[in-house]
Amino acid sequence: MKRALLLLAILATSAAAAPPVARFAWFDYRGSDPVDATIKAGRQDYRNPILQGFHPDPAITRVDRDYYLVTSTFTYFPGLPIFHSRDLVSWTQIGNAIDRPGQLDFGRIGLSRGVFAPDISYHDGLFYIANTCVDCGGNFVMTARKAAGPWSDPHWNSIDGIDPALFFDTDGQAWILNNGPPPGTPRYDGHRAIWLQRFDTKTLLPFGERTLLVDGGVHPQQKPIWAEGPHIFRRNGYYYLMTAEGGTAENHSEVIYRSRSVTGPYTPDPSNPILTQRGLDPTRRDPITSAGHADFVTTPSGQWWSIFLATRPYQGDFYNIGRETFLLPVRWQDDWPRITAPGATIPYVHRRPDLPRAPAPAIPTNGAFHVRDDFADARLARIWLQIRAPQSRWYSLAGGSLNLQARTAALGGDAQPAYLGRRLQHRDAVTETAVSFAPQRTGDAAGLAILQDPAHFYTLTLARTGAGNAVALSRRDGETDPVDGTTIATAPYKAASVRLRIVLSGARCAFFYAEPTGHWRLLAKDQDATLLSTKHAGGFVGATVGPFARGG
């Protein structure tokens, strides 16, 4: 009898210790921007940006009639999304270069560290990605036979700095260039240099002497900052070196140099920068700002196009959606490329490239759109991201629902929380879900989170509070706030399943809840959404939103 009671006690303790599970029946995202009502694309036009929301630092390559594009993801996992297109306009994600936890160890580093600006190239039957893992290994090169993957583990090298890129010359020689420290002592904050070195495609390592290509930037006497994101290409007997300059905020730009030799010396274009939006009227309608970090690609007919990052603030320099990928043609004048004319604004609508039109992607990447995930597939859709690489499996897809274990890792901590986020891609957006969850202990919570970084987020959850179970809205606005945020509104609920809704409108947001067949009830309105911006929070990422669970 005693043994039976002991066994029951052990089973009860084990059951109590097991983390509760939150079940999400679906996730719904609907977004639009004010510009959608005023600017329309015709049959022969395309819309900018081509990849809305957190898709910064784009790089591109072409193989025959196929185009492949990759962007930064910092410490989100899976990382380095690979997109494919046939017309430079319709893009579909086909994989991730970082899709296995063992490829990179993000450890407990910050969300805006990890993998910075990647470069993608193709040579002699092999795809290459050169990249940096900041605070987690340094510079590396990865390879794949197919752009969709699988990609190799990183091949690490000893190059310092960030933003490595590969260049394959017509004679078969390969080179690697990067942003690194300048010779000697930096003369000012942001003083950087661009370096070049031979690259062995068999060992995937640099060799030989390094060559200094740029020290500071176009006008060294003006103390230019953050020369970075370099690329080299050839045209009409010239080698062209293209770099970003001016930092990643409103003074961002793209500049160009050329030389008759790959190792230089390189002469800057007298009309630099070839791309920028700095100096324009800050009160202009629907502004596009902070343009730079470009890459070039040619079409089979010889047309030149550029992809680059820029931002779309809702006021001042505030934007929650992160830096996005844009597309514009390249004009040539006296053997110098031009993307934007001085004082010209980046257009939201432009004539399409002279390429056969490709079908629209299954998951839209720009314009106003509505996407719903019913969690009916055996695998997570590629829209979903985790914070840092997983060390264990805490989610499952079963019975038409997404199931999350309520882990003890806090959203505001430095471990991996049970959170799956999709990029916020619009200024105005509505996200909804239906969650079933039975909080057992104080601190148990499951629902929606919208997050800029672990120090800046909102959570709308079914939670166990000191007064019992409630729909709870919490906010974290800085490192000094509690790791779960501070509860700012609660309401009782009775149903086993509750619908949750977050509504964003530029700088403000509102939060709602409803029982399965009931009307939406307002929990809190007119909340500050600027805390989801990099202007407020710092860093380099855009906000994400999605299902979340926390165990007390």
Q: pLDDT (tens digit, 9 = 90+) per residue, 311-346?
A: 999 999 999 999 999 999 999 999 999 999 999 999
Pick the closest to residue 216 from 260, 165, 268 (CA basis): 268
Is the bond preceding 439 in cis, omega lying within 30 degrees of 0?
A: no
Residues 6 or more apart whose CB falls under 8 angstroms from that of 215 comprise 182, 183, 193
Q: What is the pTM of this model?
A: 0.95
Pick the closest to residue 123 from 164, 80, 170 (CA basis): 170
* Sheet of strand 324-329: strand arrangement: 289-298, 304-311, 324-329
pLDDT number for residue 449 = 98
Pick the closest to residue 188 from 229, 230, 163, 221 (CA basis): 221
Band of pLDDT at residue 12, cut at 50, 70 and 90: very low
Task: Give the CATH superfamily of 49-351.
Answer: Glycosyl hydrolase domain; family 43 (2.115.10.20)
Rounded Cα gap, residues 110 and 471, in angstroms: 29
Burial 7-45 (b: 16+ CB within 10 A, else e): eeeeeeeeeeeebbbbbbbbbbbbbbbebbeebebeeee
Band of pLDDT at residue 1, cut at 50, 70 and 90: very low
User: Cβ(455)–Cβ(533) under 8 Å?
Assistant: no
Identified catalytic residue from 36, 87, 99, 228:
228
pLDDT number for residue 536 = 98
Portions of the chain given CATH number 2.115.10.20? 49-351
Q: Write the pLDDT tens digit of every residue in 475-527.
A: 999 999 999 999 999 999 988 999 999 999 999 999 999 998 889 999 999 99
- For residues 12 and 529, the model is more confident at 529
Mean pLDDT score across all residues of the chain? 95
pLDDT number for residue 13 = 41
Portions of the chain given CATH number 2.60.120.200? 20-28+368-550
Average pLDDT over residues 276-298: 96
Residue 515 falls in the annotated catalytic set: no
Q: What angle do CA 22, 25, 26 make, to 5 degrees?
A: 120
Residue 317 falls in the annotated catalytic set: no
Q: Write the pLDDT tens digit of every residue in 17-64.
A: 678 999 999 999 999 999 999 998 999 999 999 999 999 999 999 999
Please determine, for residue 435, whether its predicted confidence score (pLDDT) is greater than 90.
yes
pLDDT number for residue 3 = 47
Question: What would the DSSP string read from start to end of 439-478?
Answer: --STT-EEEEEEEEETTEEEEEEEEEETTEEEEEEEEEES
Q: Which fold has domain 20-28+368-550?
A: Jelly Rolls (2.60.120)
Least-confidence region, from 13-27, 191-205, 401-415, 438-452: 13-27
Q: Write the pLDDT tens digit of every residue in 227-283.
A: 999 999 999 999 999 999 999 999 999 999 999 999 999 999 999 999 999 999 999
Q: What own/partner pairs with CB < 8 Å and gap ≥ 24 does 180-188 have?
A: 182/215, 182/216, 183/212, 183/215, 187/216, 187/223, 188/223, 188/225
Identified catalytic residue from 33, 57, 87, 250:
57
